[in-house]
Amino acid sequence: MIYLASASPRRQELLERIGVRFELLAPNAEEAEAAEALEAIDPGERPSDYVVRVAIAKARAGEARRQARGLPPAPVLAADTTVALGGRILGKPADAGEAAAMLRALSGRTHRVLTAVALARGRRIDHRLSNSRVRFARLGAADIAAYVGTGDPLDKAGAYGIQGYAGRFVRRIDGSDSGIMGLPLYETHCLLRGLP
C-alpha cells in the first residue's frame, strides 16, 4: 500500500489500472495553497528541471502531511506534469483568455509533455521523468472557442487534457500516453519496485 499525494482523478484511475493499492493523501484547503506556491516557475528554469523539482517538493510535502496526520509509514507518491513548447513552460492557464492563447500556440506544432513522478520513503526520495512528444493538428478559432467553453482547459497544464475532448486535436504521440495523462505507468512501476 502507498499514499497518493494528489487529488487528481486521472492519477487515481491510472494507479487502479495497474493494481496499485493506495490511500489518498491529498492536501486540505490550507495545504493546497502552499502546494500551489510550489508550482511557481523559477526564472530561467528548464521545463525538465521544473517538473522534477515540483514532483519532489510534492512528495516531500506529502510525507510531511503523513507524519503530521499520524498515519502509518508507507511510501508517498507524487507527480507533476507540464507542457513545454521549446523552452517555454505552459502550466495551468489562469483564465479562458490564457487557455485560448496556449491552444493557439500549440496549434499545428509539436510540443513536449513532461511528467515527473517522485516516491518518498521517509527522508529518501527517488524520481523518474517521462518525456513525450505530442503533435497537434491545426486548430481553428471555432475549435479553440468550443474547447475553452467547456471549462476543461482551466485545470490542465498546456490548457488541454488528452483523455477527453482535446484528444481529437492530437495527430501523433511519441512517448507515454499515461505520462501525458499525468502518471507515467512504466516509470511509476519502476519506482515502486525499486528498479534502476
pLDDT tens by residue, 95-147: 999 999 999 999 999 999 999 999 999 999 999 999 999 999 999 999 999 99
Q: Which residues are catalytic?
A: 80
3-state class (DSSP) for residue 175: coil
Mean local confidence (pLDDT), 11-34: 88
3-state class (DSSP) for residue 57: helix
Q: Within 13 Å, how many C-alpha atoms sit on residue 166's CB side?
A: 29
For the cut 60, the answer to whether the pLDDT of residue 93 exceeds it is: yes
- Min mean pLDDT across 25-34, 78-87, 120-129, 173-182 is at 25-34
For the cut 70, the answer to whether the pLDDT of residue 180 exceeds it is: yes
Q: How far apart are the first and last CA of the chain?
A: 21
Q: What is the dihedral of CA 1, 34, 13, 117, to 10 degrees?
A: -70
Q: List Cα–Cα distances, 7 to 18, 60, 128, in angstroms.
A: 18, 16, 20
For the cut 80, the answer to whether the pLDDT of residue 51 exceeds it is: yes
Q: Could you tell me which residue, 28 or 144, shows the higher pLDDT?
A: 144
